[in-house]
Structure 1
Amino acid sequence: MKIFDGHVHTPYCPHGSKDDFHKYIERAIELGLKGLTFTEHAPLPAGFTDPTPQQDSGMKLQEMESYVARINDLRHEYEKDLIIKTGLEVDFIEGYEHESRAFLDEYGPHLDDAILSVHFLKSGANYHCMDYSPDVFGVLVDELGSVQNVYTHYYRTVQRSITADLGKNKPKRIGHMSLVMKFQKKFPNPDINKKEILDTLDLVAEQNLQLDYNGSGMMKPLCREPYPSEWIVKEALKRHIPLVYGSDAHSAKDLGQGYGQLMKEAPLTQPF
C-alpha cells in the first residue's frame, strides 16, 4: 500500500482513542504507507462555544506548541522509515473567519499541510455540529425544514469556506466534502440538488484546492460510501481536482480504512 494518508488524528484528539503516536506510525509502516500527515482537530476559534455535549470537538489552544514539537521529534525519529508531516484539520465556522485567520497567521507557518472542514452549521442564533449524531442532524432538518435544505445550507457553508480570506496559511484541501451525507440511510435525500455540489467543485477548481478523498464514510453504518461519493469524484476528476486519500483515522487500527473501495472508484492524485 504505497500511498500517503493525508488525514490522520492523534492522541491529542479529545473525542478519539488515546493510541500513542508510535502506535499510529508502526501501523503505517506495517501497512507499507509512504507517509502520513497528522491532522488533529485544530482549536476552535476564539469566542466560539462548542455545542457538543462534551465540548470535545477540537484540541486546546495551549496544546498547540507541544503538538507541533512532538510531531517534529517523530519526523526525525522515523525519517528513514516514513514521511511524517505536521498538519491540522481546521474548522470553518461561519462568522468566525477573522478569528480563524488570526489562528492560521500564528500557527500556519509551523504546518506542512492542513485540511479545511465544515462540521458546524449555523441555524438562527445557534450552531449545531451537523455530523455529531443522527439526533443533531434531525434537529437541523426540523429547524431548516427539510433534508434538502440542510444539504443546501451545508454546501453554501462549504462554498464560503472555499472563498473565505483566511490568509496566506489557509488550508489547501477541503475535508470530506460530502459529510452532509453521513446519515443518508436514516435521512435520505431523493431530490438531491446536484447543481449546488457541482458549483462547489467549480469553486474548488478555481481556487486550485485539493479534495480529501476520505475513506471513513465507508465505515459509517448510515452512510456506507466515501466522502465524496463516486459520482462527485468523477466530476472532480473532470475538473482536474487533486484527490488526496485520507483515512480520517481516530485510532491506529483505522489507518487505511476504505482505501480498497476508493481505488475501485477513482484514481488518486498524491501531491506529496
Structure 2
Amino acid sequence: MKIDGHIHTPLCPHGSIDLFEQYIEKAIQNNFTHISFTEHAPLPPSFDDPTPDKDSGMDQKLLQPYFEQLNTLKLQYKNQININIGLEIDYISGFEQQTKEFLNEVGPLLDDAILSVHFLQWGTEYCCIDFSEDVYLDFANKVGGINILYDLYYKTVQDSILADLGPYKPKRIGHPTLVHKFQHAHNESIHDDRVIQSIFQLMKERNYELDLNSAGLSKPLCKEPYPPFHLIDYAKSIGLPFVFGSDAHTARDLHQHYNILFP
C-alpha cells in the first residue's frame, strides 16, 4: 500500500480552492493506493478561535456537503484508488466534552481521523501556535520563554493522548512536534528528544499511531518533518505504527517530500 493519510480540501477555510478531483487524480498518477481527506473539523461551538480570520476549522454548515461529496467520489474512483473520509480533530484543553459529543455524532461517518494540537491554553487565553512566526514568538514571551512553550505544547499533546473523547476518538496523533515549526526563528537550543520519546512510548502503549508528517520540510523556519528524522528512526525502533501524511492544503503540495521520507 502507498498511503497519504493527511490531506486537506477546498473546504478548508485557510487552504486553497483546488478541487477534490485534483488531489485524487494526482494521487492516482503517483501510484498511491490509499488517501485520506482529513479536513479541519468544525471547532467546538463555544470556543472562540483566536486566529484573526477565525478560519481554523471548517464551517459547520459545510460538514454535510463534505461527507456527501466524498461519498460520491469514493464510488466514482473505487476502481482506481481507496478514498477515506476523515477529519482532523483539534484537541483543545477544556473542551473535551464538546469534542466527545461531536465525535459521537460524526464518528460513524468517518473512515479515518487525526487528533492534533494547534491551540495552547495559558490562563484563560488560547493561542494557535502554528499561525505565524509573530504569534508564536509573542506567545512564547507571554508564557515565559521558548522552553516553557515547548513544555506546554508537549503536555497538551500528552493530555490529548490520555483524554477520554469517547469510542470514536482518533487513533492517529497529528504532527506531534508542530512546536518546531518556527524553531529557526528563536534559534534557541532546545533538548526535547526525551519528552518526544516518552510521548511515542505512551502512544505505543495505548495503541495510537503517528502522523508522519512531511509538511515541516516546506516550512522555512522548520526545515524538518514532524517528527524530525532521528525521531522517526526512534519511532520505528519501538514499533510505533505510522502513516505518511503530506498535510497538503493545495494539490501542488500533495505527497510533498514523500520520496525523501521513503527513498
TM-score range, shorter chain: over 0.9
What is the CA deviation profile of residues 117-150 of structure 1, one whole-angstrom value per residue up to 9, with x for unaligned ones? 0000011211000000000111121011111111
Q: Distance in 1 between matches of 2:195 and 2:258?
A: 27
**Contact residue 148 and residue 192 of structure 1 kept, 8 A:** no
Taking the aligned partners of 2:135 and 2:122, their CA distance within structure 1 comes to: 12
2:92 corresponds to 1:82: no
Contact 2:6 2:38 in 1 (8 A): yes
Alpha-carbon separation, structure 2, partners of 1:51 and 1:66: 26
Q: CA deviation at 1:202?
A: 1.5
In the alignment, the residues of structure 2 paired with residue 45 and residue 76 of structure 1 have an alpha-carbon distance, to the nearest angstrom, of: 31
CA contact (8 A) 2:193 2:231 kept: no
Pairing 1:251–2:250 present: yes
For residue 195 of structure 1, report the CA deviation from its aligned partner.
Answer: 2.4
CA root-mean-square deviation: 1.0
Answer with 22-31 or 70-79: which moved more: 22-31
SS of residue paired to 2:186: coil
Q: Within 5 Å, which residues of 2 pair with 1:97-136?
A: 97-136=96-135
CA distance in 1, matches of 2:253, 2:6: 11
1:167-221 C-alpha deviation (Å, 9 max, x unpaired): 0000010000110000111123413233221221121111100000111111011
Looking at structure 2, the residues matched to 258 and 187 of structure 1 have their Cα atoms a distance apart, in angstroms, of 25
5 Å-filtered alignment, 1:61-210, equals 61-210=60-209
Code of the residue aligned with 1:83 in structure 2: it is N
Assess if the C-alpha contact under 8 Å between 2:129 and 2:135 holds in 1: yes
Question: Where does structure 1 differ by over 3 angstroms across 4 or more consecutive aligned residues?
Answer: none
Of all paired residues, the percent bearing the same amino acid is 48
Tell me how far apart the structure 1 counterparts of residues 64 and 38 of structure 2 sit (CA, whole Å). Answer: 14
Are 1:38 and 1:86, in contact at CA under 8 Å, matched by a contact in 2? yes
Structure 2 match to 1:24: 23
Tell me the distance in 1 between the aligned counterparts of 2:262 and 2:28. Answer: 20
Structure 2 spans left out of the alignment, 5+ residues: none
Which one-letter code corresponds to 1:110 in the other structure? L
| Secondary structure of the structure 2 residue equivalent to 1:32 | coil
Contact 2:140-2:148 within 8 A present in 1 as well: yes
> Quick check: 1:263 aligned with 2:262?
yes
Report if aligned partners of 1:147, 1:188 keep a CA contact under 8 Å in 2: no
- CA distance in structure 1 between the partners assigned to 2:196 and 2:145 by the alignment: 17
Tell me the TM-score normalized by structure 2. 0.97
* Residue identity in the other structure for 1:175: G
TM-score under structure 1 normalisation? 0.94
3-state SS, counterpart of residue 50 of structure 1: coil
Q: Give the partner amino acid of 2:12.
A: C
Of stretches 235-244 and 118-127 in structure 1, the one that deviates more from structure 2 is: 235-244
CA contact (8 A) 1:3 1:35 kept: yes
Counterpart CA distance in 1 for 2:235 and 2:52 is: 35
Rounded to whole Å, the distance in 2 between the matches of 1:231 and 1:22 is 35
Tell me the SS of whatever aligns to 1:184.
Answer: helix
Q: Deviations over 1:212-239 (max 9, x none)?
A: 0111111011111100111221221222
Which residue in the other structure is 2:33 paired with? 34
Amino acid corresponding to residue 252 of structure 1 in structure 2: A
| Contact 1:13/1:40 (8 A) holds in 2 | yes
Shift of 1:109: 0.7
Measure the CA separation in 1 of the matches of 2:187 and 2:153: 15
CA displacement at 1:159 relative to structure 2: 0.2
> What amino acid sits opposite 2:22 in the alignment?
K
Q: Secondary structure at the match of 1:182?
A: helix
Cα distance per residue 1:39-86 (max 9 Å; x no partner): 000000120010001000010112111111110100000001111000
Decide whether the 8 Å contact of 1:218 with 1:258 is kept in 2: yes
